Structure 1
């Protein structure tokens, strides 16, 4: 219990310090305890982002298994994205500053830059959602700026140039590989379950051709408006259900 308390305490303290641009990156990222705290922040960011997108997931009628699957892959993608950001920061630091900070230390430190995304659930607010999303990304950039300045002990403008350059580079790369990852995700889910991750209209129409499926257009559950105009059909449908059960 002491270990869990220590992890939660360091995670909370590091998260609040990151949000207020007062993070001691060397202390917060040191050892297994610091690594665990950084991972918990990433997990919280992933869960919060999915909650923010819950409206879209609900519209597409995503099932619980699909949400867990998407959450796991989004977490992996988020960690890999910030790991890539850390590697780019390390390479840029070596080239521009000549620093010999270990690459692993830079990656773990940069992972704290996703702290604002823990508030990603706020993007579900109607109308304000896109603006909140941009504000969180800008906040993340500011935290990255402060982390680089602290980690490399360099000037304000040089650390800002490294932060902005690497941030834009990762954003451009993610625009390229994100659609590919999404396609791979959908294929894996379809192969594993036999159904698409999102219930598109095309899938519903395909299911409509299968007798007894959840989207069977010939089933006895018909729309109320149609029932008013087709009372004879409503009376005939229970007989059809009995015939199916006898089969």
Structure 2
């Protein structure tokens, strides 16, 4: 789906005993097995959910070749998340835009990477950072997570301290005006960047995108989401942040 992924697992012996690996507790082997599982899952997601691959389930569903009753449980879950966000934003977030194919990537990215993090946790990993195109899931921190300055690529505008949770940012500085307001069919305006801290990357990433689509109303809407803290910069360079934001 067009984003790089990196994984850092810290500490010798940082796996719990319930990992189904070497009976001797070989940390190097445990790390390798967990890493292989993460990237195998993400490759599977790319094959099944990419709207850019004509034979993926998402592409076939978008062309009407797969009926609702024939969908995988995973795509059914993703469609439910998309529908919830569309309702919650009054249509600003919409994966079915006129003139465009069905594209649920705004939900699939965070959802799939969160699943990958859960594979690590289930394997017994206690301290790790999984970074997918700048959106991260961390465990066993505190981890310091920088928020890139939206206009100066070599600077950060804030640093967060996150122990267990996720951080996602939506903005215009990497891919231009790629987030569309579903109510108007035009690029979302009003914000330069919008960062969400949440318990999961499923919530953080989808909320950041949906809030950006809402424009200047987005930060206040995102702040009402359960467990979400916000750091946002609008086009007048005003900084908006919630009181509970975990600033380092």
Normalising by the residue count of structure 2, what TM-score does the alignment of the two structures yield? 0.28
Say which structure is richer in helix.
1
**The structure with more radius of gyration:** 1
Normalising by the residue count of structure 1, what TM-score does the alignment of the two structures yield? 0.28
Say which structure is richer in strand.
2
